[in-house]
Amino acid sequence: MVDVREPEEMLRAAALRVTRPRLAVLRAVRAHPHADADTIIGAVREVLGSVSKQAVYDVLAALADAGLVHRIEPSGSPARFEARVGDNHHHVVCRSCGDIADVDCAVGEAPCLHASNDHGFTIDEAEVIYWGTCPDCAAKKT
């Protein structure tokens, strides 16, 4: 679920200082679900002007560590970021264009899936990526 609180409140609740770069990155992730870092950097630069790639990467890492954004890494694709956190949802990825959409938890409460052998781990999350072809790409093939 996407946190509906104001970004300033979210940062304070996570014990993070409220800074212009953090606010800009958090707002960019909210505005561009499943965006890669380059897209987020572009959106942040539109707001702040000059900002280094490293600064945005550092903010993304801090926000992910604090649980304010979620990092997903589909195979063969750059890392993507989203503001929907805490509900253990999954994703569907188009093999042709790389478009990503959310898929709600398949069954029940988190972790949604149960491992056949947990090897003694306490499992609190399951990550599933469904692969296929999006409607736009499928229409182009016909």
109 is in an annotated binding site: yes
105 is in an annotated binding site: no
Q: Which residues of 38-63 are buried (b: 16+ CB within 10 A; e: fewer)?
A: ebbbebbbeeeeebeeebbeebbebb
What residue type is assigned to position 99 of the chain? D
112 is in an annotated binding site: no
- How many angstroms separate the CA atoms of 112 and 87, rounded? 10
82 is in an annotated binding site: no
Cβ distance 90 to 127 under 8 Å? yes
83: which DSSP letter?
S
- How many angstroms separate the CA atoms of 35 and 38, rounded? 8
97 is in an annotated binding site: yes
- Binding residues for Zn(2+) are 94, 97, 134, 137
**Residues making up the binding site for Fe cation:** 109
